[in-house]
């Protein structure tokens, strides 16, 4: 294990060393134990490939005896158990000491290819301020693979920033559901309303305070401008009223939660209040 691409990790470091690191390149996690004979067969194969592939993926070794809760979290029922992560999510797995040829066949689809390289070129162009070149690269990738996650999410972010929310949702439509895809879909739906006249909507609501549809419209406009707390207050009011607009308000609150993230203080506060209002 004299390679920077092979590390041993325990539970406290797993989020950083695996989940976060997998946004940069694929991470292969080998759940093993000292007493496991098949682990001693598979382990050297994985380590040899990590060296041979020279940084195309990172190999992380997790001793299940020292990290039982972590093994349970990821459903490890037999070892060796190997799981690949990309973009912070598990994407593939296998159990048992596969021969090297089968391990290579399992690895190859996970590793960066020509399309991935084009995405990186697009991201480099973004960093250089060349949005047109970046968009061209992302669209070229999607023309060859409609559901390419990295190209799709990158392009969707650009489109949302440009106010092209419908087009962003179209780009995201073929994508498998991940935390990032769900966040961007929510952001696109919220951004659809950011150009509405908030002051005018507020005056209309003052004249008709029982109008839940108008309240949802005002909340959506506020959320589109990232004024999330007053938006959530209005939406929660509509949910508590339990009228025809209740589901629209609930979905709008869920979209805001998706944009802010589960640990955001507003999400922690309003999720509890939403649950109380619903049940």
pLDDT tens for each residue of 234-252:
999 999 999 999 999 999 9
The mean pLDDT of the chain is 92
Q: Return the pLDDT at 183.
A: 87
> Helices H, strands E: what count in the chain?
14, 5
Average pLDDT over residues 47-71: 93
Residue 213 is a catalytic residue: no
Distance between CA atoms of 167 and 160, rounded to whole angstroms? 8
Active-site pick, 21, 28, 36, 110: 36
Q: Return the pLDDT at 88.
A: 87
Q: Which residues is 83 bridged to in the sheet?
A: 29, 93
Q: Return the pLDDT at 69.
A: 94
Active-site pick, 39, 50, 107, 110: 39
Average pLDDT over residues 246-264: 90
Contact by Cβ (8 Å): 154, 162 = no
Length of the chain: 279
> Which letter, b or e, does each residue of 179-201 get, where b requires 16 or more Cβ atoms within 10 Å of its Cβ?
ebbbbbbbbbbbbbbbebebeeb
Contact by Cβ (8 Å): 241, 212 = yes
Contact by Cβ (8 Å): 88, 179 = yes
Residue 36 is a catalytic residue: yes
Longest dimension (CA), the chain: 75
What does pTM read for this prediction? 0.60
Q: Return the pLDDT at 1.
A: 52
Strand order of the sheet with strand 58-63?
Answer: 6-8, 58-63, 27-32, 81-86, 89-95
Average pLDDT over residues 203-222: 93
For the record, the structure tokens of 231 come out as: 């938006």
Q: Could you give the domains of the chain?
A: 6-110 (3.40.30.10), 114-191 (1.25.40.10), 198-278 (1.25.40.10)
Contact by Cβ (8 Å): 220, 250 = no
Average pLDDT over residues 121-141: 94
Place of tokens 């869920």: 254
User: Residue 72 pLDDT > 70, yes or no?
Assistant: yes
Distance between CA atoms of 265 and 166, rounded to whole angstroms? 29
Contact by Cβ (8 Å): 9, 18 = yes
DSSP letter, residue 28 = E
């Amino acid at each position: 294990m004299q390679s920077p691409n092979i590390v041993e990790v325990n539970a406290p470091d797993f989020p950083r060393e695996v989940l976060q690191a997998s946004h940069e390149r694929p991470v292969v996690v080998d759940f093993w134990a000292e007493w496991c004979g098949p682990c001693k067969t598979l382990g050297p194969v994985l380590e040899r490939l990590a060296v041979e592939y020279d940084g195309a993926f990172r190999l992380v070794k997790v001793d299940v005896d020292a990290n039982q809760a972590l093994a349970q979290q990821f459903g490890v029922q037999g070892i060796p158990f190997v799981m690949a992560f990309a973009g912070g999510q598990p994407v593939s797995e296998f159990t048992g000491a596969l021969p090297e040829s089968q391990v290579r066949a399992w690895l190859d689809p996970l590793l960066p290819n020509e399309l991935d390289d084009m995405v990186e070129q697009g991201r480099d162009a973004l960093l250089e301020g060349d949005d047109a070149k970046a968009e061209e690269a992302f669209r070229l990738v999607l023309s060859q693979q409609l559901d390419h996650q990295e190209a799709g999410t990158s392009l969707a972010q650009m489109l949302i920033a440009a106010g092209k929310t419908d087009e962003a949702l179209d780009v995201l439509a073929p994508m498998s559901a991940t935390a990032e895809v769900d966040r961007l879909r929510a952001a696109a739906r919220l951004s659809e309303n950011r150009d509405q006249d908030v002051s005018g909507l507020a005056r209309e609501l003052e004249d008709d305070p029982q109008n839940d549809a108008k309240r949802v419209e005002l909340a959506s406009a506020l959320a589109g401008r990232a004024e999330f707390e007053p938006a959530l207050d209005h939406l929660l009011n509509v949910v508590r009223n339990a009228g025809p607009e209740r589901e629209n308000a609930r979905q709008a609150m869920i979209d805001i939660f998706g944009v802010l993230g589960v640990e955001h203080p507003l999400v922690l506060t309003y999720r509890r209040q939403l649950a109380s209002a619903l049940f």
